[in-house]
Amino acid sequence: SRPFTVLGIETSCDDTAAAIVRSDGTIVAEAIMPQHEVHAKFGGVVPSLAKEAHQEAIEAVVAQVLQRAGLESARELDAISATVGPGLEICLRVGARKAAQLASDFELPFVGCHHLEGHCLVARLAEPCRFPFLSLCVSGGHSMIVKCEGVGRYQVLGGTLDDALGEAYDKAARMLGLDMKGGGGPELERVAREGNPTSVPLPVPMKKRKDCDFSYAGLKTALKLQIEKKRHDAGLVDEEEPLPDQDVADLAASFQHVAITHLEDRLAYAFDRVRADDAFQSDQGRPQLALVGGVASNAEVRRRVSLLCDRAGWDLVVPPPKLCTDNGVMIAWAAIEKLHLGFSDAIDDEVYPRWPF
């Protein structure tokens, strides 16, 4: 069939993003306006500030992708899509409203996308990745292992019982006093490179529980105690006085080491669970794992999950880092996968903040 071109808009959390993608997988144009600096001095994303930042950025971000694609207006597109859930309600509304308005103005098909479906399906844009595959989706809001059986057919094998992995990275970065302006996770990864990953004893979560669920709250508490211990050992009493850089690096590296060991443990159970499933063991090749979501942009996470896959006889598919963190491409691509199957939605700016996967 003739290739078609889709605009995807993503505003579910703290990035205002848009992209234009062609149905053959070509990324025609992309634009993103992150908000880390807006939220850096608070304990996390502040919904009202995020909404304001999305409202201020949305017109410019959409205009930018159209211009970068060499299009005069959205009239020249074949379909419009936006993330409609899950996420922050007032933020989702900004993107959904803009997308619905464009679809209605130019009488184009509209597709409302699930944020996690975007994260998982973009693995199929990056590399050949056939159904069924397993997906490890690790972001600021989710840690999940999902059996992806087809477009719209997902079975969650395990999820987080408390903090998501990205959230744990962000909280750990804050406790370590790191600069949050470029995001806590990337900064912790950078600092951890200088540290010894086995120098600080931290417990691997849920060692006795043989399933695919995650828990990072206990690790966070254990890290807090180890930070206090290091401060005490260094004779620091003044709250404002920072720990020596090497201590911070060792704590960061040790946190990251144990956080990833927990991922490995849960993945091993997931691999076991699909071992008897013939669809995964087809003669077309080895079973495939897609590593997606914001934390999948972390080089150490990618390295360790890749080693685990090698040992277990699985193929690993990881999108390039900029397609792991929130972006417009994954939403345009999820819409393309649905449109290929003849599916679209009524034009509507309704959003679903707690849409299950």
Under 8 Å between Cβ of 325 and 297? yes
Among 158, 185, 197, 287, binds ligand KG4 (CB under 6 A): 185
Least CB distance from residue 115 to Zn ion, whole Å? 6
Compute the distance between CA of residue 273 and CA of residue 158 in angstroms, rounded to an integer: 11
Compute the distance between CA of residue 24 and CA of residue 6 in angstroms, rounded to an integer: 11
Among 11, 35, 139, 288, binds Zn ion (CB under 5 A): 139
Among 30, 163, 213, 326, binds ligand KG4 (CB under 6 A): 326
Q: Which is nearer to ligand KG4, 300 or 345 (CB)?
A: 300
From Zn ion, ligand KG4, none, which one binds at residue 213 (CB under 5 to 8 Å depending on kind)? none
Neighbours of 4 (CB within 10 A): 16
Contacts of 33 (CB under 8 A, 6+ apart): 15, 16, 17, 53, 57, 60, 61
Does residue 117 bind Zn ion (CB under 5 A)? no
Compute the distance between CA of residue 4 and CA of residue 227 in angstroms, rounded to an integer: 53
Q: Which is nearer to ligand KG4, 35 or 325 (CB)?
A: 325
First-to-last alpha carbon distance for the chain, in angstroms, is: 30
Strands, DSSP E only, in the chain?
Answer: 5-10, 15-22, 27-34, 79-85, 110-114, 133-138, 143-150, 153-158, 288-292, 315-317
243 — phi, psi (to 5°)? -70, 155
Span interacting with ligand KG4, options 24-32, 102-110, 184-192, 312-320, rule CB under 6 A: 184-192
From ligand KG4, Zn ion, none, which one binds at residue 180 (CB under 5 to 8 Å depending on kind)? none
Nearest CA-CA partner of 67 in 105, 96, 30, 34? 30
Span interacting with Zn ion, options 15-23, 138-146, 213-221, 248-256, rule CB under 5 A: 138-146
Among 9, 13, 227, 267, binds ligand KG4 (CB under 6 A): 13
From ligand KG4, Zn ion, none, which one binds at residue 309 (CB under 5 to 8 Å depending on kind)? none
Least CB distance from residue 281 to ligand KG4, whole Å? 30
Q: Which spans of this chain sit near ligand KG4 (rule: CB under 6 A)?
A: 13, 139-141, 166-167, 169-170, 183-186, 189, 293-295, 297-298, 325-326
